[in-house]
Amino acid sequence: MRFSHLTAVTLVGTLHLVVPLVLILWAWGTSYASIMALAIQVLVLISYTAFIFLMGSWVFASFYLRYVVLILAIAVAIRSLIHVRNLPFFVTPHFGGWIGYCAGVVITIVLVYLVAGSVRSHFYDETPVSLAFPFRNGVYAVFEGGNGRASSLMNYHYGASMHKGARTNLSMKYAVDITKLTRWGNDADGFLPIRNDKYAVFNQVVYSPCDGEVSDVEDKWPNETPWSGKPPYNVGNHVLITSSNFGVLMGHLLKGSILVKTGERVKKGQPIAQAGNSGWTSQPHLHIQAMRKSAGSFWGWEGIPIFFDGKNPVKNTLFFER
């Protein structure tokens, strides 16, 4: 997935820091006239916190901040509810108050709907294929993953207009994007830097997630500048490994790092390349998708869900690898 640098900075900063801070301070400093007014404001705070906790892009903002926001929101909500016994249930508001009530109810309903989609994205209509995790030595995070048919905010691949227009979204239905975390809980040294070598996953060795045969290799694309907004539409340098009934595609690999050739047999855990930033991508990461084999180009194959070592790689899942 790609965004311009300005768009990414604005979205990440606003959704993960500004909006939660405003809601927390607002709930903390408000003197409520009634239980109804308190309940609506607390519902907005909690529903937004649940939404951003589950569906936020914490690889950019920091996973530590994710838990700070959650703890603060719960603490403020509890503090507000302590005073509920001293309030009347309902006080007729002025015109602006009615607008606030209605807005709060609508916002809560929308957020609850989105959170429900996040929960549904953990489940699939078919049995996932079991793969080995393709990285070692570090903490890795999924920033796009899960059932994209249930929630495009958890996994954009299936619903993205660009992928639909290119007719690649069926193969990407359950694709997963993986990056590595720094000690600060984000994916890079700094906030959304525009240098590839600032990203922890860049140059990391990618290991084969299964036994199989190398069916397709492409190794000609240079690394793109992070957040440039102008990469070519493809998965860049990639390796396709096929078994008897499915194939696994790994993309955005570092040019010149691919260690395998078409027709070669590989074993699970065998080094095959290094992670890069080639193709249609905003920042270094590994794109991986599993597909059911059929006739024709693998872009026309149907995607199947992935579990890594029995673990479901939905958005914001962490993998602690030795």
pLDDT tens-digit map of 285-308: 999 999 999 989 999 999 999 999
| Alpha carbon 60 to chain centroid, angstroms | 10
Q: Count the alpha carbons within 13 Å of 82 in the hemisphere toward its beta carbon.
A: 8
Strand partners, 199: 188
pTM of the model: 0.94
Q: What is the pLDDT of residue 128?
A: 97
Average pLDDT over residues 209-237: 93
- Structural domains for the chain: 5-120 (no CATH), 129-321 (2.70.70.10)
Angle between helices 63-82 and 19-29 (to 10 degrees): 20
pLDDT in tens, 155-204: 999 999 989 999 999 999 999 999 999 999 999 999 999 999 999 999 99
Q: Is 146 exposed, middle or buried (0-12, 13-18, 19+ CB in 10 A)?
A: buried
Alpha carbons 18 and 178: distance in angstroms, whole number: 26
Per the model's pLDDT, the better-predicted residue between 233 and 187 turns out to be: 187
